[in-house]
Amino acid sequence: MSEISAAMVKQLREKSGAGIMDCKHALAECDGDIEKSIEYLRKKGLATAQKRAGRATKEGAVQAYIHMGGKIGVLVEINCETDFVAKTDDFTAFVKNIAMHIAATNPVGILPEDVSPEVIEKEKEIYRAQALEMGKPEKMVDKIAEGKLNKFFKESCLMNQVYVRDPNMTIQDYLNDVIAKTGEKINIRRFARFQVGE
């Protein structure tokens, strides 16, 4: 069976609208073939229909947040299924809180697969060098680097981060809570963070 890369999972997610684990499973079952995986997901009823996918992203909000006297600014787009939910207090508070969280934590992406291969390779090089500097055996270096990379994803990818206003939950947990309250699919689509001098 061919190796299932994060890029393949991302491509399948974009085409099918299915979740990460469903996409990984489909790719594993279909030997990494994207088209066969889409068919597999459709048969299993996990893929979102094209019409639904279009509907799922047409409502929501763009929120701007300026922090520290204009030194840090964030723009975030969060989508939901209906205009009704987009105007609810729960959704509005969620969008504002996510913008503030991004200002505070400076995530590198929403999910690990959003992190560029260049950043991942650079991080791995740093972790390998640190392990060698500490005198770790050569055969352990890659394993140590992989463990540190997973920690990097946990700390640097928005969905994995601990929510700054509640250390008992991650952003994914917070999103799940809002989905449960609103009864709609909600998607943190994209963000941009600006800092003076960076």
d(CA 66, CA 108): 19
Domains, the chain, with CATH or none: 6-48 (1.10.8.10), 54-110+157-195 (3.30.479.20), 116-156 (1.10.286.20)
49 versus 30: which is more confidently predicted? 30
- With a cut of 90, say whether residue 58 has pLDDT above it: no
Residue 169: name the closest of 112, 95, 98, 108 by CA: 98
Roughly how many angstroms between the first and final C-alpha of the chain, as a whole number? 43
pLDDT tens-digit map of 120-154: 889 888 888 888 888 888 888 888 888 888 899 98
User: Cβ distance 154 to 106 under 8 Å?
Assistant: no
Mean pLDDT confidence for 20-33: 85
